[in-house]
């Protein structure tokens, strides 16, 4: 899985399976991170902001919390493995719909 971000905000990206966090990755704004994801179907949520305060406070009171409206499924077949590339900023013609969520759901 590859996640591309825009400059100006940093991101904490998480994958969840049945409300259990499976993966958590911090990504500096303007950077792209590629990482391995276990097989399965996951919800993608992220927190973003400009001043990282750590894993308890995230970006403080100005933290934005978002969730992708769709789930992501990673499977393995005969000679292939699903992967995806996500861009966490507006792209003309983009297809990733996001919804704000309360901090308690992150």
CA angle 51, 1, 93 (to 5 degrees): 80
Number of domains in the chain: 1
Give residue 4's pLDDT: 94
Q: pTM for the whole thing?
A: 0.89
Averaged over successive runs of 10 residues, the pLDDT of the chain (106 residues) comes to 93 95 96 93 96 94 95 84 83 84 95
Q: How many Å apart are CA 25 and CA 34, to the nearest integer?
A: 10
Domain interval for residue 7: 2-105
Give residue 78's pLDDT: 79
Give residue 7's pLDDT: 92
Tokens of 51: 């001043």
């Amino acid at each position: 899985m590859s996640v591309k971000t825009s400059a100006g905000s940093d991101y904490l990206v998480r994958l969840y399976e049945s409300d259990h966090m499976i993966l958590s990755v911090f990504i500096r704004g303007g950077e792209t991170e590629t990482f391995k994801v276990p097989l399965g179907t996951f919800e993608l949520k992220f927190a973003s902001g400009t001043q990282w305060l750590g894993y308890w406070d995230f970006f403080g009171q100005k933290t934005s919390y978002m969730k992708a409206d769709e789930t992501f499924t990673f499977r393995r077949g005969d000679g292939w493995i699903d992967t995806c590339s996500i861009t966490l900023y507006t792209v003309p013609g983009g297809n990733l719909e996001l919804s704000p969520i309360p901090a308690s759901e992150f």
